Structure 1
Amino acid sequence: MSLLYVVLVKAIDIYSTLIVVYILMSWLPGAYQSKFGRLLGTICEPYLGFFRRYIPPIGMFSISGIVALVVLNLAKGGLFSLFRLILNVLY
């Protein structure tokens, strides 16, 4: 059971890192058009697109990426609570 928790938390951590890299690529001209940028776009854009749809940019800045990372962090905390609850019920 704890192995599943560790794998899920690691997956969330890796995905969060990929999102941060994808967001930072916006500072580099032409980075999204590179092969690596297109790959990250394929991975990150469905999740980030959900937040971009509902959170409008403030001036020139979009805070949707920050909100997406906060939600992932909250999901990781919820996952911890869920696994702790399951382990308390089982043992």
Structure 2
Amino acid sequence: MQSLFQILMLLLDVAWFFILAHVIMSWLISFQVLNVRQELVGQIWYGLNRILEPLYGPVRRILPPMGGLDLAPLVVLLIIYALRIILVNNIAFFY
């Protein structure tokens, strides 16, 4: 059962990494450091969007419109961190 705990923690870590990469890449695209018309950048950008949209979509429907500010990644990161805390505090169930 400990392996189940480790797999869940790994999945949360991977999701955390993808969200941070998406946020940093969105900043770099906004400040025109990266260009989406470049093939590699465009593929990574659209791939991250397709992976993360199922996580962001429900959160965006709940959050009120904030103009150009998207708080969905922040909320999803907080949810992932809360899930990590819940898993660590209940680690006894995995033994």
TM-score, normalisation: structure 1: 0.78
**Other structure's SS at 1:34 match:** helix
One-letter amino acid matched to 2:70? S
Mean alpha-carbon deviation: is it higher for 74-83 or for 22-31? 22-31
CA distance in 2, matches of 1:67, 1:39: 21
Identity within the alignment, %: 24
Corresponding residue for residue 39 of structure 1: 47
Say which is worse superposed, 33-42 or 21-30, in terms of deviation: 21-30
Match of 1:18 in 2: 18
Paired positions, count: 87
Change (3 A) 1:57 1:83: same
Q: Secondary structure at the match of 1:4?
A: helix
1:21 positional shift: 1.1
The letter for the 1-side match of 2:25 is M
Residue deviations 1:22-51 (CA, integer Å, cap 9, x gap): 122222155497111111111111101111
Q: Normalization by structure 2: what TM-score?
A: 0.75
Superposition CA RMSD, Å: 2.2
The more displaced of 70-79 and 20-29 is: 20-29
1:64 is the counterpart of 2:86:
no
In structure 1, C-alpha distance between the alignment counterparts of 2:77 and 2:87, rounded to whole Å: 15
Query: Where in structure 1 are there 5+ consecutive unaligned residues?
Result: none
